[in-house]
Amino acid sequence: MSNSTPKHIAIAGAGLLGRLLAWQLLRANIRVTLFEAGSFNPTNQDIRAAAFTAAGMIAPLSEAVVSDVNVYRMGQFALKQWPQWLGQLQQPAPSLFFQNGSLVVAHPQDVSELEQFERELQFVIPECNTYHRVNQRQIQQLEPDLQPNFSQGLFLAEEGHLNNRELLAALMREIQALGGRLHEHMPVSVGPHTIVSEHSEEMFDLVIDCRGLGAKNQQPQLRGVRGETLHVETKEIHLQRPVRLMHPRYQLYIVPNPDNRFIIGATQIESEDRSPITLQSSLELGSALYTLSPAFAEARIFETETNLRPAYMDNLPRIKIETGLITANGLFRHGYLLAPAVVENVLSHIFTKPEKIFNEILHQ
Ligand SMILES: Cc1cc2nc3c(=O)[nH]c(=O)nc-3n(C[C@H](O)[C@H](O)[C@H](O)COP(=O)(O)OP(=O)(O)OC[C@H]3O[C@@H](n4cnc5c(N)ncnc54)[C@H](O)[C@@H]3O)c2cc1C
């Protein structure tokens, strides 16, 4: 640590970026105070970080199709960085990272959607060689519990997923064990060196703003993009990896979690409405799920959730460095995919490391 490295850093927002940064800074022996508007262990009755609603997919190829090649490159970095980070956890935690690839399928009548997905993939990443087409037999070998009439698919071998809620809990345990100073139920506004809450104004060597959409009052260019998820539980189906279903009206994903649980999502709506999932969305998600395998009919829905993804106009992340204040935001639908690049970039600024990862992309 050089003499100019800040000794006491405040972080506003304990979602994905806030927890990761707090943890990494504490590991580097920096004093950290973390301010969170909600609870550090929120239930689904609370308004909580988008990080809790996310499905946890680390899907550089699938996401490149709806974004650009830089998202793919940062996603490839994430696939290496997550296992390294998870290896640094000191407290016991369940399995958090799985890298079994992902499978993209379409019903026979929608095969043109699958073909278009592949064309877009080749357009965005012409050099890509980490996926291959799979036929009916190979799909059944990969996921025997899917219904057997999927005749074509794509297997994206390098993709992975995180058990994200367990990860967020594990990060909080690490932060506590490393002596982070914690303030929950304390919404704050930020300025250079300054955190302002309802009751006080505190000064720090550096403030990092990780408030996601909560920063909108100070960054009006941020917008929220609504997403809805269904959480189901069934012992009838076992999936090894996330499966995406291509459909003319929506692209459904289903992500397996431990304990026979699955997260299903599809929606991306230009709205900042956080009200509960609509009947139409739940019917579409449920019926698409049923077409993946009729055995899902008996699955129990134990949670539905709605949240807003924090995004800038171009749907790409940004880091802004000012004296006494760093702002990191705009992770949109790629939070877990892009957080390693964003966090490592912020850390390299704080520790004035010569090489700044993805500097030219993250600081436009
Ligand atoms: C339905 C859905 C599915 C998703 N699926 C995936 C996926 O599969 N893979 C993927 O990579 N990404 C996914 N994402 C995206 C991912 O969740 C976000 O990109 C990521 O959570 C953004 O991280 P963040 O730390 O910037 O914000 P958040 O995780 O939203 O955290 C912000 C935190 O700041 C706190 N806060 C707000 N205002 C204040 C304030 N004034 N003072 C103090 N604290 C404050 C909030 O309470 C919150 O805890 C998904 C998102 C949604 C909604």
Phi, psi of 251 (to 5 degrees): -120, 105
Among 156, 159, 336, 346, residue to substitute to test ligand 1 (most atoms within 8 Å of Cβ): 336
What is the predicted pLDDT for the residue at 1? 66
Residue 41 identity = N
What is the predicted pLDDT for the residue at 348? 95
Share of the chain above pLDDT 90, in %: 89
pTM above 0.85, yes or no: yes
Q: Does 192 score more than 80 pLDDT?
A: yes
Cβ–ligand 1 distance for 214 under 6 Å, the answer yes
**CA dihedral sign, ordered 85, 86, 87, 92:** positive
Residue partners of 102: CB distance under 8 A and separation at least 6: 57, 59, 62, 155, 156, 159, 161, 241, 242, 243, 244
Cβ–ligand 1 distance for 75 under 6 Å, the answer no
Cα(48) to ligand 1 centroid in Å equals 8
Spatial CA neighbour of 148 closest among 177, 182, 105? 105
Task: Return mean pLDDT, the chain.
Answer: 95
Closest ligand 1 atom to Cα of 217? 41
Rounded distance, CA 309 to CA 318, Å? 14
Q: Count the Cβ atoms, other than its own, within 10 Å of residue 320.
A: 13
Average the pLDDT over 119-140 and give the result. 94
Query: What are the pLDDT digits (tens) for 60-88?
Result: 999 999 898 999 999 999 999 999 999 99
Q: Which two tokens stand for residue 39?
A: 């609870």
Cα(330) to ligand 1 centroid in Å equals 9
Cβ–ligand 1 distance for 55 under 6 Å, the answer yes
Angle 356-359-362 (CA atoms, 0-180°, nearest 5)? 135
Phi, psi of 11 (to 5 degrees): -120, 130
- Nearest residue (CA) to ligand 1, atom 20: 335
